[in-house]
Amino acid sequence: MAAITAPQGGNGLGDRIYQRLADIPTWVLWMLVVVWTIPSFSLFVNSFRNRDAQRNDAFWNILNERDATVENYSDVLSAGSTNDLTDSIITSAAISVPATIIPIAFAAFAAYGFAWIDFKGRKWLFIATVSLLAIPLQVALIPLLRLYIGGAHLTLPFTDKTMTFLPDIDLAGDPAAVWLTHTGFAMPFAIFLLHNYISQLPKEVFESARIDGADHFTTFWRLVVPLSVPALASFAIFQFLWTWNDYLIANTMLDAQSSVPTTVRIANLAGDFDNTDHLLTAAAFVQAFVPLVVFFSMQRFFVRGLLAGSVKG
C-alpha cells in the first residue's frame, strides 16, 4: 500500500481529509486492533445469545436473530442454579485481597529496611533476596502442599527423633493456603519493585526526620508510606490482577469439591463440554469484570508496574 502517498502541499478540506485517509500506519494499526479485538468481541456478543443460538451459528448472526438475552448472566450469577459462580467469586476475593495487602505491607517493610537501615551484610542479603526471583512457582508447589496438609517435620540428624516445626494446620481447601503461597511468591518481586522506588527518595527527608528525633518506625509510617503511594499502587494492581487471574496455585491447593476461585471454576466448566459451553461466555466476562475495571481505571499505574517489574517469575 506504500503506493498511496499524500500529495504535497494543499490544505483545503479535501486535502486534509485525503491526508487522513492516506495515513497508512493508522489504517494498518487499526486493522490490527480489529483483529486483536474480534476474539473478545465475539465472545462478548455470544454471551448475549441463548444456548441454541450459540450452538447453531457464528456470533454475527445475532443481527438476524433479534433475541438477545441476559439469561446466561443470570444463570451464572443467581444463587441456587447449578452453574452459580457467586461462591467462587467470593473465594477469589478471599484469596486476592489478603494476597495483595499482606505482601505489600511486608515488602514495604523489607524494602525500607534494605534501603535505609544500616546493618552488616545488607547488600548481600538484598542480592540474595532478588535472586530468588529465579525460582519458578512449580519448584515450590509440592512441598508447600505437603506443608499445608501435613505440617513440617524434620528427623533430627544423629538421633531417632522427629521434630515438628509446624503442626498439621489442615489448610487443604482453605483460601488461606492459596494466599499464603501467593504472599511468599510475590515477595522477591515486591521487594525489588518497592526498593527501587523507596531507595530513590531524597536523602534529606530522612536526615531531617532523624534530627527531629523520629525513629525508623515513625519515619516509615509518616514519611515513606505517603511518599511511595505510586509504587505501592503499581504493585497492588499488578499483584491483584496476578492473584485474581491465577489458576495454577489455586488448582493445586484447592480440591474440586470445596469451593474454588473463578478461574478454576471456569476451567472445570470448560471441561464439561456439551452442557455448559454456552455459559462459559458469560462466566468468562464475569470473571474478567473486576480485572478489566482495575485495568481501565488504573492503566497508568499498571503500565508503570509492568515497566519496572518486567522480571516477575
Partner 1 sequence: MGVVLTVLGGLTAIGLGVSAVLGLIGLARTNVPKFVGMLAVAIVVVWVAIAVGDRGKLERLLDMLGTVFISVVVCIGIWVISNMVVSSAKRGWPMYAGIAGALFGALFFGIMRGTLSVLPIFAAQDPLYLFSGGGLLGHAEWPVIGAIVFGAGSYLTASIPQREVRLAAGVAMGAIAGALLAWKLKVWYYPSLDYVAGLIGAVVGAGLGGVIRLRNPIPTALIGAAIGFSYGAWGGGEWTGAGSGRWIGMIVPMVLLGLAIAWNGSRGPKAMAEFDNRARATVFLGPALLFLFGSLIVPAITTFLLSLRGRDSVDYVGFENYNELFTSDQSFDFSEWSALFTSRLFWIAFVLAVAAIVIGLVTNIRRNGEPGFERNPTTVGLLTVGAFILSMGALSVLRGTFFNNLWWVITVVTVATVAGLLIAVLADRSSVGENAAKTLIFMPMAISFVGASIVWRLQYQARPISKNQTGVLNAIWVGLGKMGTGELGLPGGLTFRPIGFVIFGLFLAAALFFVVTSKPRLDALAGPLILLFVAGFLFLKIGLGAETGSLRLFVIVFLVAIAAALAYTAVTRLQNGQAATAQSLMFGVVVFLAYRFLAGAIGGYTTSAQGEIVPDTVLFLTNTPFNNIFLMIILIWMQTGFAMVILSAAIKAVPQEFIEAARVDGATESQTFFNVTLPSILPTVGVVVTTMIVQVTKVYDIVKVAGQGGKFGNNVLANEMFEQSFSFGNRGLGSAVAVVMFLTVLPVMVYNIYNMQKGEV
Which residues within the stretch 22-61 sit at the binding site for partner 1 (CB under 8 A)? 22-23, 25-26, 28-30, 32-33, 36-40, 42-43, 46, 54-59
Residues 117, 129: Cα–Cα separation, whole Å: 16
Positive or negative torsion for Cα 50, 51, 53, 58 = positive
Q: Print the binding letters for residues 72-111 with partner 1: x by CB under 8 A, - otherwise.
A: -----xxxx-----xx-xxx-xx--xx--xx-xxxx-xx-
> What is the SS3 assignment for 43-96?
HHHHCCCCHHHHHHCCHHHHHHHCCCCCHHHHHHHCCCCCCCCHHHHHHHHHHH
CB of 204 to partner 1, least distance (A): 20
Count residues near partner 1 (CB under 8 A): 159
307 in contact with partner 1 (CB under 8 A): yes
CB of 27 to partner 1, least distance (A): 9
Residue with cell 488461606: 176
Q: Closer to partner 1 by CB, 80 or 202: give it.
A: 80
CB 281 within 8 A of CB 46: yes
Q: Closer to partner 1 by CB, 14 or 202: give it.
A: 14
Residue list 222-281, contact with partner 1 (CB under 8 A) = 225-226, 229-230, 232-233, 237, 241, 244-248, 251-252, 263, 266-267, 270, 280-281
Q: How far is CA 173 from CA 113, 120, 145, 170, 275, in A?
A: 35, 42, 11, 9, 26
Q: Closer to partner 1 by CB, 202 or 231: give it.
A: 231
3-state DSSP call for residue 143?
helix
CB of 58 to partner 1, least distance (A): 4
62 in contact with partner 1 (CB under 8 A): no
68 in contact with partner 1 (CB under 8 A): no
* All three cell numbers of 62: 445475532
